[in-house]
Structure 1
Amino acid sequence: MSFDEETFKREVLSKIPLRDESPLPPNWLHVEMLERFRVLEFAPIKEGMNVLEVGCGAHALTTVPLAHLVGETGRVVAVDKSRWRFFEEITSVTGVKHRIIPLKLDARELPFPFKTFDLAVLVHGVRSLKNEGTMVRVISEMLRVSERVFIAESLPVANNERQEAHLELYNLREEIFEALFGEKDDLHYPTLEKLTELVEKAGGNVIESGTFEPALPHYLAYLPREYVEGIKDKDKRTELLKRWDRAYEKWKRGTKHPPVGWILAESSPLDHNFHTAEEEN
């Protein structure tokens, strides 16, 4: 189908109220959702498709563009284990809620007995899966229940100072979360080669892959300083506060989205079973 960005802006983004969440700009959600729409230009989406989205997140950033693209006769089954805070509000105001079926569950064990979907999508969600065993298990499940799988993730690459500013602040998140909660989250971005390796370990055959520049600002590296101040280990807190202050000064002068890598895959002809010790964590 035609990926008409102006139509998307007019019919969807214009309905989302501006948000007062300083230091983020009032239109940050619009910009992030537009980036997801541009990512999906590389996915083989057609009107009427039945699409599975893994890791829809609190703000439905990819869910809304997906629901717009599948049209009135299509459906998006949106899966997330816990992050639902603004999901209903955003899908309602954008007018696509009736095209979406939300499911709160663990994507490592999807409750579909056969290939239920035309396409399964994981956009900017690999980094939230905490460890490689979980990544492989989730991708394996996506391959099991869908004809094809589309995965996209930011790459650890900076081609200019504003992309460097994003990466410097974003790369603190993994350490901050580990210091606060004892486990990693928002892992460092993988390379495209690593994404390919994960797909192949999960039993997938990569059909196409590529990279592109979103050419948009990117605000989601930001994490409030109060999070860092809450770290109990004094030495670690002091170290991370210094690094956060330094990175934030660069970030607030301007930040851009790094390049994005994407992969389209299907199940390998061979039958795979992947159960590792890591998957049980």
Structure 2
Amino acid sequence: MRAIRSLDEVLAGYDALFCDVWGVVHDGVASHAAAVSALAAARRAGKTVVLLTNSPRLADGVERQIAALGVTRDSFDAIVTSGDATRALIEAGSRRVLHIGPERDLDIFDGLGLQLEDETGAEAIVCTGLFDDRVEDPEAYRPLLERCAARGLPMICANPDLVVHIGDQLIPCAGAVAAVYASIGGTVHLAGKPHAPIYAVARRVVGEGARVLCIGDGLMTDVLGAVNHGADCLFISHGIHRDELSEVIGDPILLSAELLARGVHARFVMPALR
């Protein structure tokens, strides 16, 4: 693993960037100005920048969200979300679904002709998050999930992330609810990072032959996704794992060994994208 100081040190070897959003480009409160500038500079250098996010929202909704946080439109060519990739799974499934998640995510169902049901009438679950992720714990959903698992309802999870930083807070995501469901024997289908469907959508933007560098701070989403996709990865070390990796984060050799112990690897590392 090679430590770098700026993205432009390695740009020459790639045609496109698949860049994580939350934790890399913004923290849920404000954009990271240096990251936004680095991506804009990459585009000026002729690289295609795809923002690849496990947000359950559709691309239009994410674009509005990040614009409000200060992410400028000149810093990316396209946005591909877990919500976008998940819609195909939803469309291929049951018409009668139980939605677990906040009302702001309901646009994922737009135009699909679904009927939203309670747990007794549903034939499948679509989880986009917790109803109120600022105060709820995923374990609180266990009784509901046990009843659904007993009926054999499959779950489609629109965001595989377990947690996300909002400022200095760690907030649970849909993936944490899905993990509870899987732990009690429920069937879970995922389309976001590190799974193939979201990368297939992103590939359509950049072309099959493009040399891609994946950028992200999540080991089991961004880094594992890059490994699965056969792409190089730039690991942003002071992101979601900054506390648990604190003892090795300053030494690329020790950090590389820690990543390998977790079954992943990255070609480059830097504390924050710039």
TM-score (normalizing by structure 2): 0.37
TM-score normalised by the chain length of structure 1: 0.36
